[in-house]
């Protein structure tokens, strides 16, 4: 059966309430209804091998790497841009962690803990070089803790020098020809105060990796400080295994199947963003600026309740909110938003250090009138359909320029302060790159919205000063916050064609959302 017919068959199964579940060479299904269409089930069985081939993602196997160790094929463009200077340390050094540590720390323990973490995540000692037009990981360098004693200076002066030195270490460009892509450091301020941190090149790590390394580092230190043997983690898939499996998968039938999906999904798509202001600055290359936004506790709690009632996540609710705000700002119902995804759906790579993040173009249709609750249901279906068909962003063939959304949900009242071990107090260090960063329009989405959600939702909307005036982004921020506040009071209130939320109008009735019931039985196909 060809790719188009497989798409048709799988879509029929979904409409019939059958969810297909490929995993490790087996295909199972889950039915939402007690009565199942026997004809569809028989056709699924007859095409089981083909369906499994197109639905299954990469198969990760420990030790499956090859020599030499090629990087991810779709990262070639990133390294070319880094080599040419088109991308700079704002990209490569953005994956870092640093904190002011109050408590007694032993240098020898820290040095051993760095060695433990490197043993656990071998990609941390890698660098990248280009030979014969191919970028590969090489392992020629060692990683050592950079330890500097700045305590000779007077109190406040020593603290200021340590923070400045930490910024220098974090934002100093990597030189792959001379060093590995992991730089840990500890700067002594006093006997009971240090600045501790590390930076990992973004091409081998993402934000999830940063937290993994921080947790592993402090867990190892805690064991030594309490006289316990270091906990040995179970053998896990390494990033080199992940890269080898992913590069093989890029040439599989699954890629053809998913590319076919995105070709249909993105038909007749053009740019979708706030209209650029007429010549806000006289330069083509501008500076990346940001406007902060904030949703208070009551609003955030109400949106969480809406997410729970809709059997979805805060990400989907905020995505729906941004789509509505953008739709009403540009008077357009066909909205495309680039959504960041962690890329760690497979539990085998959950604790792996590596770069797995991806962007998915989500096409959300905002009707001229309806309820926000029904829009959330629609967006939920769009998001999970995109997850089922996800491929590296560059392969989706996305035309035009769009806005981006990245949400990190830490859970209510969690604050996720990474308190570290119980014998030290960690205070996160402000590490934002100082000064203004010059960026070309081709290398930044029209607008980029980042949100961190705890018991409140906070974040920023970044933009390019050569495209927008600050007042334009502030107006969008105000619209976003106002919509959130009114929706929190009544998620079922109607919005009209003029974009104002109102308690009257012609609400769309929520459709039969394709939600998944985890309690329903799974069966082998």
Residues 76-100 pLDDT 10s:
888 888 888 777 788 899 899 999 9
Q: Model's pTM, two decimal places?
A: 0.82
Per-residue pLDDT band for 234 (boundaries 50, 70, 90) equals low
User: For 318-348, what is each residue's pLDDT tens digit?
Assistant: 999 999 998 888 888 898 888 888 888 888 8
Say yes or no to pLDDT of 264 above 90. Answer: no
Torsion angle (degrees, nearest 10) of CA 182, 188, 194, 197: -10
> Does residue 428 belong to any structural domain of this protein?
no
| CATH number for 192 | 3.30.559.10
State how far the alpha carbon of 365 is from the alpha carbons of 374, 378, 488, in Å: 11, 8, 21
Average pLDDT over residues 143-164: 87
> Does residue 271 belong to any structural domain of this protein?
no
Choice among 147-161, 231-245, 296-310 with the minimum mean pLDDT = 231-245
DSSP string computed for 88-137: -HHHHT-SEEEEEEES---HHHHHHHHHHHHHH-GGGG-EEEEETTEEEE
Say yes or no to pLDDT of 176 above 80. Answer: yes
Number of domains in the chain: 3
**Could you tell me which residue, 25 or 309, shows the higher pLDDT?**
309
Q: Which residues contact 233 (CB under 8 A, 6 or more apart)?
A: 120, 216, 351
Residues 302 and 443 in one domain: yes
**Could you tell me which residue, 247 or 432, shows the higher pLDDT?**
247
- What letter would DSSP give residue 465? T
Residues 122 and 41 in one domain: no
Q: What is the mean pLDDT of the chain?
A: 81
Residues 332 and 471 in one domain: yes
107: tokens are 């240098």
> Does residue 432 belong to any structural domain of this protein?
no
Residues 94 and 221 in one domain: yes
Residues 191 and 287 in one domain: no
Residues 163 and 202 in one domain: yes
| CATH number for 38 | 1.10.10
Average pLDDT over residues 130-148: 91
Cα gap 508→368, rounded to integer Å: 10
- What pLDDT sits at residue 507? 27
User: For 457-509, what is each residue's pLDDT tens digit?
Assistant: 988 888 888 788 889 899 999 999 999 999 999 888 777 644 343 322 222 22
Choice among 156-170, 174-188, 227-241, 286-300 with the minimum mean pLDDT = 227-241
- What pLDDT sits at residue 196? 94
Say yes or no to pLDDT of 435 above 70. Answer: no
Say yes or no to pLDDT of 208 above 70. Answer: yes
Residues 87 and 35 in one domain: no
- What pLDDT sits at residue 506? 24
Task: Count Cα neighbours of 398 within 13 Å in the Cβ-side half-sphere.
Answer: 20
> Does residue 383 belong to any structural domain of this protein?
yes
- What pLDDT sits at residue 399? 61
Say yes or no to pLDDT of 69 above 70. Answer: yes
Residues 145 and 222 in one domain: yes
- What letter would DSSP give residue 152? T
> Does residue 421 belong to any structural domain of this protein?
no
Say yes or no to pLDDT of 168 above 90. Answer: yes
Bridge partners of 323, per DSSP, are: none
Cα gap 48→258, rounded to integer Å: 17
User: For 383-402, what is each residue's pLDDT tens digit?
Assistant: 988 988 888 887 876 666 66
Cα gap 142→220, rounded to integer Å: 19
Per-residue pLDDT band for 441 (boundaries 50, 70, 90) equals very low
> Does residue 426 belong to any structural domain of this protein?
no
Residues 237 and 147 in one domain: yes
- Is residue 205 within 8 A of residue 239, CB to CB? The reply is no
Among 194, 189, 361, which Cα is nearest to 269's?
361
- What pLDDT sits at residue 446? 67
Average pLDDT over residues 170-192: 93
Burial class (CB in 10 A: 0-12, 13-18, 19+), 253: middle
- What pLDDT sits at residue 22? 80
> Does residue 418 belong to any structural domain of this protein?
no
Range of the domain at 504: 252-265+282-342+357-413+437-510
Per-residue b or e along 417-439, where b marks 16 or more CB atoms closer than 10 Å to that residue's CB: eeebbeebebeebebeeeeeeeb
- Is residue 185 within 8 A of residue 70, CB to CB? The reply is no
Residues 337 and 463 in one domain: yes
| CATH number for 487 | 3.30.559.30
> Does residue 430 belong to any structural domain of this protein?
no
Per-residue pLDDT band for 525 (boundaries 50, 70, 90) equals low
Per-residue pLDDT band for 157 (boundaries 50, 70, 90) equals confident
- What pLDDT sits at residue 416? 39
Residues 87 and 38 in one domain: no
Say yes or no to pLDDT of 101 above 80. Answer: yes
- What pLDDT sits at residue 504? 29
Max mean pLDDT range (112-126, 260-274, 323-337): 112-126
Residues 20 and 139 in one domain: no
């Amino acid at each position: 059966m060809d790719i188009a017919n497989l798409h048709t068959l799988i879509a029929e199964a979904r409409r019939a309430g059958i969810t297909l579940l490929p995993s490790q060479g087996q295909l199972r299904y889950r039915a939402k209804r007690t009565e199942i269409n026997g004809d569809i089930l028989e056709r699924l069985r007859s095409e089981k091998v083909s369906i499994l081939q197109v639905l299954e993602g990469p198969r990760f196997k420990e030790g499956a790497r090859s020599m030499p160790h090629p990087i991810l094929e779709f990262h070639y463009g990133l390294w070319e841009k880094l080599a040419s200077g088109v991308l700079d340390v704002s990209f490569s050094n953005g994956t870092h962690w640093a904190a002011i540590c109050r408590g007694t720390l032993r240098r020898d323990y820290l040095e051993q803990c760095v060695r433990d973490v490197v043993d656990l995540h071998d990609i941390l000692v890698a660098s990248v070089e280009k030979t014969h037009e191919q970028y590969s990981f090489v392992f020629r360098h060692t990683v050592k803790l950079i330890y500097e004693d700045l305590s000779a200076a007077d109190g406040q002066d020593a603290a200021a020098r340590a923070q400045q030195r930490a910024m220098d270490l974090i934002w100093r460009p990597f030189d792959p020809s001379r060093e590995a892509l992991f730089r840990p450091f500890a700067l002594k301020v006093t006997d009971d105060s240090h600045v501790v941190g590390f930076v990992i090149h973004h091409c081998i790590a993402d934000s999830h990796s940063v937290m993994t390394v921080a947790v592993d580092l402090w867990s190892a230190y805690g064991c030594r400080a309490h006289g316990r043997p270091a906990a040995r983690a179970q053998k896990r898939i390494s990033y080199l295994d992940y890269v080898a499996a992913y590069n093989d998968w890029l040439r599989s039938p699954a890629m053809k199947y998913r590319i076919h999906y995105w070709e249909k999904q993105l038909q007749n798509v053009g740019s979708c963003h706030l209209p650029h202001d007429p010549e806000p600055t006289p330069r083509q290359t501008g500076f990346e600026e940001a406007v902060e936004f904030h949703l208070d506790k009551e609003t955030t709690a109400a949106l969480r309740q809406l997410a729970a009632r809709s059997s979805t996540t805060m990400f989907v609710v905020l995505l729906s909110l941004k789509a509505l705000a953008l739709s009403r700002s540009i008077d357009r119902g066909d909205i495309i938003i680039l959504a960041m995804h962690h890329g760690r759906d497979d539990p085998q790579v959950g604790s792996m250090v590596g770069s797995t993040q991806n962007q998915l173009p989500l096409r959300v249709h905002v009707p001229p009138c309806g309820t926000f609750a029904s829009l959330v249901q629609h967006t939920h279906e769009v998001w999970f359909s995109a997850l089922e068909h996800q491929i590296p962003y560059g392969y989706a063939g996305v035309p035009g320029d769009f806005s981006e959304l990245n949400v990190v949900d830490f859970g209510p009242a969690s604050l996720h302060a990474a308190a570290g071990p119980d014998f030290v107090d960690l205070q996160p260090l402000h590490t934002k790159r100082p000064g203004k960063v010059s960026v070309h329009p081709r290398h930044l989405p029209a607008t980029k919205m980042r949100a961190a959600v705890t018991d409140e939702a906070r974040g920023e909307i970044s933009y390019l000063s050569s495209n927008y005036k600050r007042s334009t982004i502030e107006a969008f921020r105000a619209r976003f916050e106002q919509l959130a506040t009114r929706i929190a009071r009544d998620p079922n209130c109607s919005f009209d064609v003029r974009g104002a939320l109102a308690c009257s109008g012609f609400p769309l009735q929520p459709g039969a959302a394709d939600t998944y019931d985890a309690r329903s039985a799974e069966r082998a196909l």
